[in-house]
Amino acid sequence: MVQYKLAPLDAAFAALSDATRRGVLEQLGHGECSITALAVRFNMTLTGIKKHISILEQAGLVVTEKTGRVRTCRLGPGRLEDEAAWIERYRQRWALRFDALDDIIDELKQGEGQNVGSE
Amino acid sequence: MSGVNETVVERKSDRELVVTRQFNAPPEIVFEAWSRPEIFQRWWVPKALGVPLRACEMDVRTGGGYRLEFGLDAANAMAFFGKYTDVVPPSRIVWTNEESGEITVTTVTFKDLGGKTLLTLSELYPNKEGCDEALQGSAAGLPIQFEQLDDLLADRAG
């Protein structure tokens, strides 16, 4: 169930929601690595790790480059946005709640709290 | 969407997230919206989620407890529960979140700005990992329904 039409923030968020993918980023933080080496490191099949890498690539968190028969992965330009993206997502959740709360507060102000229970 | 009352989030430390926002009403009214279950449930789980609260029990007094349960049916319900450890109407509510096995403490304060209210909400996690998880949205505090919310927000932002 991978969606390819995600906004950049969603892509980063989805990419970072998986422990293996976060592990891959951590590993690449220490230096570039071939896909084969990553598969061994995370005890996965080549196909399995490629799926993860592809999601990280779409989010701009990883770039890959093929030299001969070896595909090398390194951190991409999106990596500095991780925390900022998470915090923005968290903020949006609260903002949505608080916008709903604004409406309720307006009702309370007008109605002195009468008839504002669940309808 | 007035744009005036912006929701601001800061990561204060490895273990703490702080959300601030202003409301156009005095603290008494904002506190009421947080302390009466029949009102609280109308905004805490935004309608946009389309996920009804199956149960909403809140005894907003120091020493009282709460239990929120939502989901479409009993098999897919998700419960949130804890205790109110410090309630001072209309300026402060502190509660624990105990559903994940590790206790997270949420503190909400309502500061009077002369007819308006500055709300500050702090979530203190037992460790850095819990805080990171909350941001990633995979913590117990963010059920599957938030994925729908994420989609919704993405649509609105797009």
| Distance from the A29 Cα atom to the nearest Cα atom in chain B, whole angstroms | 18
Q: What is the mean pLDDT of residues B20-25?
A: 94
- Residue whose token pair is 């799926």: A51
Q: What does the block give as tokens for B121?
A: 């909400």
Residue of B nearest to A91 (CA): B9
pLDDT band at B21 (very low <50, low <70, confident <90, very high): very high
If one compares B121 and A116, the residue with the highest pLDDT of the two is B121
Q: Which of A85, A62, A101 is nearest to B32 (CA)?
A: A101
Q: How far apart are CA B8 and CA B5, in angstroms?
A: 9
Q: What is the total count of domains within chain A?
A: 2
The verdict on residue A21 lying in a domain is yes
Judged against a pLDDT cut of 70, whether residue B42 lies above it is answered with yes
What order do you get walking across the sheet with A70-75 strand by strand? A33-34, A70-75, A62-67
Is A92 in the B-facing interface, judged by CB distances under 8 Å? Answer: yes
Proportion of chain B above pLDDT 90, given as a percent: 44
pLDDT for position A18: 82
pTM of this prediction? Answer: 0.63
Residue of B nearest to A114 (CA): B39
Domains and CATH numbers, chain B: 8-157 (3.30.530.20)
pLDDT for position A60: 80
State the count of interchain CB pairs (< 8 A) between A and B: 103
Q: How far apart are CA A67 and CA A64, in angstroms?
A: 10
Q: Which of A30-34, B89-93, B114-118, B127-131 has the lowest mean pLDDT?
A: B127-131
Range of the domain at A22: 8-75
Looking at the structure, tell me whether residues A17 and A59 fall in a common domain.
yes
- In terms of Cβ atoms closer than 10 Å to its own Cβ (0-12, 13-18, 19+), residue A3 is exposed
| Residues of chain A with C-beta less than 8 angstroms from the C-beta of B150 | 10, 13, 89
Q: What is the CATH number of the domain that holds A23?
A: 1.10.10.10
Looking at the structure, tell me whether residues A37 and A69 fall in a common domain.
yes
Looking at the structure, tell me whether residues A47 and A27 fall in a common domain.
yes
Looking at the structure, tell me whether residues A32 and A19 fall in a common domain.
yes
Judged against a pLDDT cut of 60, whether residue B141 lies above it is answered with no
pLDDT band at A112 (very low <50, low <70, confident <90, very high): low
| Distance from the B142 Cα atom to the nearest Cα atom in chain A, whole angstroms | 10
Count of Cβ atoms closer than 10 Å to residue A2 Cβ: 10
Contacts with B, A 9-38, CB within 8 Å: 9-10, 13, 16-17
Looking at the structure, tell me whether residues A52 and A110 fall in a common domain.
no
B123, β-bridge pairs: B17, B106
Q: How far apart are CA A29 and CA A33, in angstroms?
A: 10
Tell me if B7 and A100 make a contact (CB, 8 A cut-off).
no
| Residues of chain A with C-beta less than 8 angstroms from the C-beta of B135 | 83, 86-87, 89-90
% helix / strand / coil in chain A, to the nearest 5?
A: 65, 10, 25
Proportion of chain A above pLDDT 70, given as a percent: 77
Judged against a pLDDT cut of 90, whether residue A90 lies above it is answered with no
Looking at the structure, tell me whether residues A56 and A105 fall in a common domain.
no
Q: What does the block give as tokens for B57?
A: 């029990």
Tell me if B137 and A102 make a contact (CB, 8 A cut-off).
no
* SS3 assignment for A36-74: HHHHHHCCCCHHHHHHHHHHHHHCCCEEEEEECCEEEEE
Looking at the structure, tell me whether residues A49 and A85 fall in a common domain.
no
Residue type, A7: A
The verdict on residue A3 lying in a domain is no
Which secondary structure element, helix H or strand E, spans residue B27, and what is its range? helix B27-35
Q: What does the block give as tokens for B16?
A: 């703490």
Proportion of chain A above pLDDT 90, given as a percent: 36
Q: What is the DSSP letter of A4?
A: S
Q: How far apart are CA B142 and CA B147, in angstroms?
A: 9
pLDDT band at A103 (very low <50, low <70, confident <90, very high): very high
Looking at the structure, tell me whether residues A67 and A110 fall in a common domain.
no
Among B136, B152, B155, most A C-beta atoms within 10 A, so best to mutate, is B136
The verdict on residue A40 lying in a domain is yes
